[in-house]
A and B are shown apart, each in its own frame.
Chain A
């Protein structure tokens, strides 16, 4: 089960109302390389992991991604909370406003809703961990583009924190991949115990 902690993982600061910035940052809420996708990907892959380190890492990283989703939601919420209709129109956020007012919804920067096909759960642990390493790199790149687009130094500060977390998660998944290779290496020898490496049977 899960419990909620009544605090953010990082103090997400916003300097001023900025629906233009909210419109792009929201992609890390419901976009292809966003935090919802990351969290659900890891939490659904963990069931078929064969080694304890992988089950733990997917549970813990998947849980941390939920906290990142909350940080992104906090940024978007505070960037648009005090925006006027004129601000929203000027920022090109009127399409979003027509469907959602200022509520949080899972969309990418262009307004396309989140879909499960953003993620995969393939059953082969080596395949899944490769997917996750790619996902962390894609999220890292997205944060770099958002940092380039950000004109609010406080928002940039939080984006930099999240950017660093992608790098740490990539590192942990790389270690899991090595552990899986060790595990299958041992399995391989065990499964082929009748096989003589010198060539005889």
Chain B
């Protein structure tokens, strides 16, 4: 995985984390409109960052929820446990 792909994926992971955290908070505070607004914003950013990534590197989601190009990129290495995240 090259530096640019890693950088894009790391940004997606950050946005995914923000959305996950807000999601859990909203489960117990469904009437918090500020949190809901924040969630909607992060979720939009996350979706567009994923689309941009998937256009080049293939789908991040299986079962038809990711973006599939002209080749079956889903099987391509590296899988998440194989990515070297060490800062060099």
Q: Which of A4, A11, A78, A168 contacts B24 (CB 8 A)?
A: A168
Q: Is the CB of A13 within 8 A of B12?
A: no
Tell me which residues from 1 to 52 in chain A have a Cβ below 8 Å from any Cβ of chain B.
3-15
Question: B2 to chain A: closest CB distance in Å?
Answer: 16
Interface contact A73-B81, CB-CB below 8 Å: yes
* A112: interface (CB < 8 Å): no
Chain B residues within an 8 Å CB radius of A94: none
Interface residues of B in 2-22 (CB under 8 A from A): 9-10, 12-13, 16-17, 20-21
A15 to B16, CA, bound (A): 25
Most chain A beta carbons < 10 A, residue from B12, B27, B61: B27
Residues 151-184 of A, flagged 1 when their CB comes within 8 A of B and 0 if not, give: 0001000000000000011001001100100000
Q: B79: CB under 8 A from chain A? A: yes
Q: Is the CB of A4 within 8 A of B61?
A: yes
- On whether A8 and B13 interact (CB within 8 A), knowing A3-B65, A179-B28, the answer reads yes
Residues of B within 8 A of A (CB): 9-10, 12-13, 16-17, 20-21, 23-25, 27-30, 59-63, 65, 74, 79-81, 83, 85-87
Pairs across A and B, CB under 8 Å, 25 listed: A3-B61, A4-B61, A5-B61, A6-B60, A6-B62, A6-B74, A6-B80, A7-B12, A7-B60, A8-B83, A9-B13, A11-B83, A11-B85, A12-B85, A13-B87, A53-B28, A60-B20, A60-B24, A64-B20, A70-B80, A74-B81, A77-B81, A154-B86, A168-B21, A175-B28
